[in-house]
Amino acid sequence: ARVTNISQEGVNHLQKLMVFSVYEDKEDTFRQVIDWDSITSRITQGVEVRADFRESFVKKLDAGERFTSKWIRERNAAIRGGGSFSFVKLHVDGPSTQAVFRLIDQLGGANFYGLVLGTMSDGGVRGIDIYDYGKAELISQSLRRSYLAFAAAASPKLRSQLKGWEAAFVDHAEDF
pLDDT in tens, 13-59: 888 999 999 999 888 888 889 888 888 889 888 888 888 888 888 87
In this predicted model, which residue has the larger pLDDT, 119 or 116?
Answer: 116
- Report the predicted TM-score, pTM, of the whole model to 2 decimal places: 0.83
Asked whether the predicted pLDDT for residue 64 surpasses 60, the reply is: no
65 — pLDDT class (breaks 50, 70, 90): low
Other CB atoms within a 10 A radius of the CB of residue 106 amount to 13
Residue 132 CA to residue 146 CA, distance in Å, equals 17
Contacts 24+ apart (CB under 8 A), 95-102: 95/2, 96/2, 97/2, 97/3, 97/4, 97/6, 98/131, 99/11, 99/14, 99/15, 99/18, 99/127, 101/15, 101/18, 101/19
